[in-house]
């Protein structure tokens, strides 16, 4: 495949064209959900991970497997259940006969986390010990199992899903662990016209294939390119100030934050806001970040990092309502 151009302007154009082509290929299989697809790709090229919240039957598995095909990456799906053990994710050792010595030997069999794109389906249905095994892989890009340390192949992207209904028998991820995810993405029901199109496409014979747009070296190069995009000082200042305003006990918090939030976002939110803005700028064909890029990343970055209090619940205010008010003041 074509090499990523070296000059900033050409590289940004290549990124934008590739981004649009990937969305076009995904659109052959997945109807609608354009914002979800965009946020998913922004996170992937930023080297972040996503948690996707949506009711069953909205094609979450189809979406992520299609992304893997368009990027020519390996894909695995882990169905999280209450009896899932850490070794079911990372892998386990088995005893084998050594034909040369006649004795016994151990061989490590890699688990499903050893893939480029991992779908952790219903991650809140498994106990914290098993969730921690996945979170280590996300944070360290490595796995420790049976006393051995294994590096995960890059690129490595985790999409965890949570079901917003049927909360009985679940183990919701604590805020500290949710903070490891770059974006929280909400997958809503399709529109009436989109649902008609979905039903028409899935109830008749249809042979559609997607093309691979990028390969692994190109993806890694584009992820590296994101880190090189310059950020104007005023954009950086506004971003960090926005995050500081989410902290109700901080000196920069406006009154409505002090009244309605019990906890705000940490420094990781600032980092992900800037990375998401850089990636969005490249996806738009620009090698410079604008304030609008930051604003576009505010909701997916912040809605799982701020915690509303009882006063907010009493007035029917959600984290998104607070975020919108903060963004208006930028």
pLDDT at residue number 138:
85
For the chain, 330 residues long, give each residue's pLDDT as a single digit of tens: 567 777 888 888 889 999 999 888 888 777 777 888 899 999 999 999 999 887 776 677 888 888 888 888 889 998 888 888 888 888 877 777 666 776 777 777 888 888 899 998 888 888 888 888 888 888 888 887 767 788 888 899 999 888 765 555 566 777 777 888 999 988 878 778 877 877 877 777 767 777 788 888 899 999 999 999 999 999 999 999 999 999 998 888 899 989 999 989 989 999 999 999 999 999 999 999 999 999 999 999 999 999 889 998 899 899 999 999 999 988
Structural domains of the chain, with CATH: 8-204+213-218 (3.40.50.300), 229-328 (1.10.8.80)
Q: Give the model's pLDDT for residue 167.
A: 58
Pairing of strands 157-162, 50-53: parallel
Q: Is the dihedral angle over the CA atoms 251, 257, 259, 261 positive or is it negative?
A: negative
In residues, how long is the chain? Answer: 330
> Taking Cα atoms as reference points, which of 39, 7, 37 lies closest to residue 21?
37
pLDDT for 24 = 86
Could you report the per-residue pLDDT of 16-33, keeping only the tens digit for each? 999 999 888 888 777 777
Query: CA angle, corner 27, sides to 22 and 28, nearest 5?
Result: 105
| Other Cβ atoms within 10 Å of 301 Cβ, number | 32
CA distance 62 to 297: 24
- What integer pLDDT is reported at residue 226 of this predicted model? 92
pLDDT of residue 102: 66
Q: What pLDDT is stored for residue 86 in this prediction?
A: 84
**What is the predicted pLDDT for the residue at 111?**
83
């Amino acid at each position: 495949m074509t090499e990523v151009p070296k000059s900033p302007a050409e590289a940004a154009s290549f990124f934008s064209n590739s981004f649009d082509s990937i969305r076009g290929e995904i659109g052959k299989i997945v109807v609608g959900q354009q914002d979800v697809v965009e946020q998913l790709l922004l996170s992937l090229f930023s080297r972040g991970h996503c948690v996707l919240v949506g009711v069953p039957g909205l094609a979450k598995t189809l979406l992520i497997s299609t992304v893997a095909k368009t990027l020519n990456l390996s894909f695995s799906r882990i169905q999280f259940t209450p009896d899932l053990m850490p070794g079911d994710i990372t892998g386990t050792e088995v005893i084998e006969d050594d034909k040369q010595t006649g004795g016994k030997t151990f061989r490590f069999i890699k688990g499903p986390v050893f893939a480029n794109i991992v779908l952790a389906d219903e991650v809140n249905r498994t106990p914290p010990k098993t969730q921690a095994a996945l979170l280590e892989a996300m944070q360290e890009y490595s796995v420790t199992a049976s006393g051995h340390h294994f590096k995960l192949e890059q690129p490595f992207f985790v999409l965890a899903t949570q079901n917003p209904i049927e909360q009985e028998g679940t183990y919701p991820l604590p805020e500290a662990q949710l903070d490891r995810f770059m974006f929280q993405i909400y997958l809503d029901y399709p529109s009436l016209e989109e649902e008609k199109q979905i039903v028409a496409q899935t109830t008749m014979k249809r042979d559609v294939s997607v093309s691979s747009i990028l390969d692994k070296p190109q993806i890694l190069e584009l992820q590296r390119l994101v880190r090189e995009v310059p950020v104007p000082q005023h954009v950086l200042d506004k971003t960090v100030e926005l995050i500081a305003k989410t902290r109700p006990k901080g000196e920069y918090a406006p009154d409505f934050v002090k009244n309605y939030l019990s906890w705000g976002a940490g420094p990781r939110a600032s980092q992900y806001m800037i990375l998401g803005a850089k990636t969005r700028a490249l996806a738009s064909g620009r090698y410079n970040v604008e304030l609008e890029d930051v604003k576009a990343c505010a909701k997916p970055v912040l809605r799982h990092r701020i915690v509303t209090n009882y006063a907010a619940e009493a007035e029917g205010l959600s984290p998104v309502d607070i975020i919108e008010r903060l963004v208006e003041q930028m």
